[in-house]
A and B are shown apart, each in its own frame.
Chain A
Amino acid sequence: MPPKKPLASKEQHLFRELLSLYEARQLKKGLKTADQILKKAPDSGETMCMKGLILTHMGRREEGIDLVKKGIRLDLTSHICWHVFGLIQKAEKNYEEALKSYTQALRFDKENISLLQDAATLQTHLRNYEALQDTRELILKLRPNHRRHWILLALAYHLNGNPSDARKVLESYQKMLKARDIPDYDVEHSNVLLYQVRVIEDCGDFASALALLDGSAKSRGIVDRTAIMEYRARLLTKQGDTAEAEQAWRLLIEKNSDCLHYFRELFRIKNLPLDAVSGENREQAVALLLELSSQYPRSSVPARLLLDVSEGPEFEERVRVYVLDRLRRGIPSLFVDLKSLYANPSKPHVIENVTTQFRTEVESSLRSSSSPEGGESPTTLVWTLYFLAQHYSFLRRYEEAIETIDFAIEDTPTLPELYACKARILKRAGDLVGAVREIEEARCLDGQDRFLNTKSAKYHLRAGLREEAISLLGLFTKKDAASPSADLEDMQSTLYLLEDASCLYRLSQLGPSLKRYLVVQSIYDDMSSDQYDFHSYSTVRQRFTLEAYTSLLKWEDGLRAQPPFVDTALGIARILIAVHDDPALATSSTPSKRSDADKKAEKKAKKAALKVLDEVKKGTQNSSSNEDKGLEPPTAKDDDPTGVKALTASDGLEQAWKYIKPLVSEPLSLNRTDVLACAYDLSIRRRKYVLAAKSLLSAHQNDPENPETHLRVVDFKLKVSSLSPPPSETIQSLVNQTLLKVLPDEIALETLNSQYLQRHSDDPRAILAVADASTRIGTPLQEVEDTVFGILNPNVKNDVKSSLAACEFLNRIKSPRKDEFRSECDKHFPLSTMFKTAEELAGYKSQNGSAGGNEDEKEVVNA
């Protein structure tokens, strides 16, 4: 590499001008100046990088980035070159590489404040708290007069798990402050003080934290009164000062008697944990709750908590009062409110008795007196029936549920909740077509209710009616969007995308289904990168709202443990594994004919794309214009709209692993058996035996009796006993160790399998896992079929979902008895439509179609 030549003084002057032109986004002039320098000094890497940066801003992205890369190669020791590169990587959301570039830049310009600030943001974003601490120390050393650098250093220490250093920094900061620097009632100062209290609390020094809190409250340094009370109660609790803590929580309840958290804390401090009351505790807890409920008669919290801790005749009396009051007031959410009581084996029965008895009373009251005075209101009867129907449905007593809700609908056919309830009962019982019919009844009663609209669309998707679902959703999406589903993508509706993905999966359209899942993944990527702006926003511009900011960081840390994200990763893996096992699926599952709606949407999208192209053309025609297009890359054109490429990619399993890996490794390390089983499935197919063993072991530790675990244990034993080529010794020994842990005795797989079946003879999922394991062991098909048919035995706690999975399984192993099984299921679940043949279903659907237009039969008269 030739040694770097410094620019001549005229060019140096021009370069400084170039920098300030860029700062002012005078792109056109900047470009001219850069060219002027390059004419004299064609090897100036810094100039080349600046020119590249300007070109990127002007929308000439490829050209610009090429130039930047060329510039760096010419001048590897320039902080400007690395800074420019870092800016471009940051805009591409490639934060890790961007941080590397910034670190390079800082090597050559150690005390550049703006580089340090950007690096600190990137370090926070990447959770590189160790390095963040160093960066913040350096910044404070360079700029000790800025108040915020002190606080940001404390934050860095705190995030890095070092509260005592954070405390020292904040204490020095407070000493440095002069009283006249702080205006009265300064929110910013108040927030910093509260944060300081929190930091001292995290040091475990509750007495000092309390002293600072009380002092600052008295001096009006902290202005948030509720925060003072909450901090105080929390600190007193942690300190173990029972009497004072009780007083503090009671004060908070006085302030807001609907806050469940305050009640829970009060009971905790009194050593009466509400989740685990027993024996004499119960009496005390009940007494305290009775006291609180007479003190705050308008609050539901103590009354509802009483139902948790009461038992026997007292429970019956209290639940009667609670339920009757709310039925008379017409509280639609009553059942949801009480649902958690159903975990107790004796309470559902009591609730049922109380409610059915009340139903009889209301009915006779309505029959006997026709005057509104004194008697019950007819709306009370409707809400009672609504509650009972939900009760039966929850207990899977679908016939009774439907009978009850039909009674309510007959009585009051204008209440949407009733139809929505019936739709849900039918959905649970497996009648997806009927569910659609009922939810549509509800939706038609109130066209502006978005909840009903969304529910109806969801039920349509469950029934495989995609086009109808889309046109329903279109009633509420933006009218100028390319299509309703494009708008829902923009709005990040994971509900819709996940439902549509599994709908497409059930329709065997694996490619489009995969695409849907990938969209959800990208939504989570967006959510994760959205926090980038908050690193500077929360700490600088928003008055040091550090409590909110640190909880945001924590939330983002757990983002990918959220169920929709996990479901998406599992959905992707499921599809790619299926295609790996049977590559024919990839070609057979791409949609052969497209629906009209798809075609329409495509046309609209094409039009929009053409428009964009036109604008781009116009843009390049006068590319010398000054318009700043920003550094962020434009959204790439989708070159795989049907997902065929993703589906047929040769590295499908590796792609799938990319999504599962973060779930099973640090820091998330999810303990979900389904996730671990999926990690196993991928690893064993990728011949990563160590990973497979690790996942299996975790699944086994997590839930050894889970059917998913059982199946994998059998599978692992079979796969690893005949490995070719044989693995290295270390791998073989690790595999053997794993086998010893999951299969302690040298036991034949057949025996293991039948023992497992005996232990779980009433669990349909276990029976299915045993059948699946049997086929892998090599059991004759007939025996496997007999096992599957066992699901229909009366002692098995069978459900629609498991039976459906059994149908799929028989299909997969090409059982000649699959149709017989399906029709047995159809008899077993009389309400369900899921086991009907296509012809039977078509008949049922057309029946429903004519029932939908129920007014047709009536004569038409002009009123």
Chain B
Amino acid sequence: MASKTRPAERITTSALTTNNLGTVRKLNSVLFPIKYSEKFYKDILSPDVEEFCRLTYLNDIPVGTICCRVEEVDGVSKLYLATMGVLAPYRSRSIGSKSLQHVLDAARAHTKPRISSIYLHVQVSNLAARRFYERHGFQECGTAKDYYKKIEPRDAWVLEVKLHPTGESGESEARPPA
């Protein structure tokens, strides 16, 4: 009967609003050993980062979050991936990959401003995380000494992915539809 076929898992993402911010707070409090400032929660609601700050759902249950901010240095805009996490029972089901892929796609298609790359910090003890990001094209570009103030080890790798590898034009990704 119907029970023989298990329903397929559905992974979806949604934008953040003041109303689901409580869910983001709950996820952060469970996932990270850090309490984020009120400014952090204010910034992730900005319409500019709507595509880069998401909640991720498995079968309509919120199980993961990803939050980035846009940084501008010398006229070049980069995306900094501040938080990304999935609840423990829901890992290894491509939920993190899908939310990261959503951000990568959105960043490549972004035009105002054009985003050159995405970078992030990984604690040097967290090899699994490093491998995860490397599978999505990130490469180590340095180490931040004493990046963490209150957890050990205190150093962090800086990982980065260039979004427009063909050079300055970036046409292949950002070409307008014919």
Residues of A within 8 A of B (CB): 297, 321, 324-325, 328-330, 366, 370-372, 376-379, 381-382, 411-415, 444-448, 854-855, 858-863
Contact A372 B9 (CB under 8 A): yes
Contact A321 B3 (CB under 8 A): yes
Contact B9 A414 (CB under 8 A): no
**Which B residues touch A325, using CB under 8 A?**
1-3
Contact B1 A321 (CB under 8 A): yes
**Which B residues touch A444, using CB under 8 A?**
22, 25-26
Contact A446 B89 (CB under 8 A): no
Whether A859 touches B7, Cβ cut-off 8 Å, given contacts A330-B59, A366-B89, is: no
Bound together, the chains give a CA A798 to CA B39 distance in angstroms of 52
Query: Out of A321, A379, A413, A862, which one reaches B26, CB within 8 Å?
Result: A413
**Which B residues touch A321, using CB under 8 A?**
1-3
**Which A residues touch B29, using CB under 8 A?**
854-855, 858
Contact A377 B9 (CB under 8 A): yes
Query: Out of A414, A446, A861, which one reaches B35, CB within 8 Å?
Result: A861
Contact A863 B58 (CB under 8 A): no
* B89 nearest CB neighbor, chain A only: A378
Whether A328 touches B6, Cβ cut-off 8 Å, given contacts A372-B94, A447-B20, is: yes
Contact A297 B35 (CB under 8 A): no
* B2 nearest CB neighbor, chain A only: A325
Query: Out of A412, A854, A862, which one reaches B37, CB within 8 Å?
Result: A862
**Which A residues touch B1, using CB under 8 A?**
321, 325
Which 9 A-B pairs give the minimum distances between C-beta atoms?
A447-B19, A444-B22, A448-B19, A370-B92, A379-B59, A414-B62, A378-B89, A325-B3, A858-B35
Contact B34 A859 (CB under 8 A): yes
Query: Out of B6, B9, B34, which one reaches A863, CB within 8 Å?
Result: B34
Contact A330 B60 (CB under 8 A): yes
Bound together, the chains give a CA A390 to CA B102 distance in angstroms of 37
**Which B residues touch A366, using CB under 8 A?**
89
Q: Is the interface of A mostly helix, strand, loop or mixed?
A: loop
Bound together, the chains give a CA A855 to CA B21 distance in angstroms of 15
**Which A residues touch B62, using CB under 8 A?**
414-415
Q: How many residues of B contact A (CB 8 A)?
A: 41
**Which B residues touch A447, using CB under 8 A?**
18-22
**Which A residues touch B87, using CB under 8 A?**
411-414
Bound together, the chains give a CA A447 to CA B45 distance in angstroms of 15
Whether A328 touches B89, Cβ cut-off 8 Å, given contacts A414-B62, A447-B20, is: no
**Which A residues touch B40, using CB under 8 A?**
863
Bound together, the chains give a CA A372 to CA B82 distance in angstroms of 28
**Which B residues touch A415, using CB under 8 A?**
61-62
Contact A329 B35 (CB under 8 A): no
Bound together, the chains give a CA A414 to CA B31 distance in angstroms of 12
Residues of B within 8 A of A (CB): 1-3, 6-7, 9, 17-23, 25-27, 29-30, 33-37, 40, 58-63, 82-83, 87, 89-90, 92-94, 148-150
B167 CB → nearest A CB, Å: 33
Whether A378 touches B83, Cβ cut-off 8 Å, given contacts A448-B19, A863-B34, A863-B36, is: no
Contact A381 B89 (CB under 8 A): yes
A766 CB → nearest B CB, Å: 46
Bound together, the chains give a CA A328 to CA B59 distance in angstroms of 10
* A325 nearest CB neighbor, chain B only: B3
A202 CB → nearest B CB, Å: 44
Bound together, the chains give a CA A858 to CA B2 distance in angstroms of 47
* B91 nearest CB neighbor, chain A only: A370
* B18 nearest CB neighbor, chain A only: A447
* A442 nearest CB neighbor, chain B only: B22
A862 CB → nearest B CB, Å: 6
Bound together, the chains give a CA A415 to CA B87 distance in angstroms of 12
Bound together, the chains give a CA A382 to CA B40 distance in angstroms of 30
**Which A residues touch B36, using CB under 8 A?**
863
Residue of A297, A325, A366, A863 with most partner-chain B CB within 10 A: A863
Bound together, the chains give a CA A447 to CA B40 distance in angstroms of 19
**Which A residues touch B30, using CB under 8 A?**
413
**Which B residues touch A377, using CB under 8 A?**
6, 9, 58-59
Query: Out of B3, B37, B58, B149, which one reaches A379, CB within 8 Å?
Result: B58
A605 CB → nearest B CB, Å: 30
Contact A445 B6 (CB under 8 A): no
**Which B residues touch A414, using CB under 8 A?**
23, 26-27, 61-63, 87
Contact B61 A412 (CB under 8 A): yes
Bound together, the chains give a CA A447 to CA B149 distance in angstroms of 34
Bound together, the chains give a CA A201 to CA B18 distance in angstroms of 58
A209 CB → nearest B CB, Å: 42
Bound together, the chains give a CA A755 to CA B90 distance in angstroms of 61
Contact A858 B34 (CB under 8 A): yes
B151 CB → nearest A CB, Å: 9
Contact A382 B61 (CB under 8 A): yes
Query: Out of A371, A411, A860, which one reaches B92, CB within 8 Å?
Result: A371
* A369 nearest CB neighbor, chain B only: B92
Bound together, the chains give a CA A329 to CA B94 distance in angstroms of 20
* A/B interface sample: 12 pairs, CB < 8 A: A321-B1, A328-B7, A376-B6, A444-B22, A446-B22, A446-B23, A854-B29, A855-B25, A858-B29, A859-B35, A861-B149, A863-B83
Bound together, the chains give a CA A328 to CA B1 distance in angstroms of 14
* B88 nearest CB neighbor, chain A only: A411
Bound together, the chains give a CA A366 to CA B88 distance in angstroms of 12
B13 CB → nearest A CB, Å: 14
* B94 nearest CB neighbor, chain A only: A372
**Which A residues touch B94, using CB under 8 A?**
372
**Which A residues touch B148, using CB under 8 A?**
861
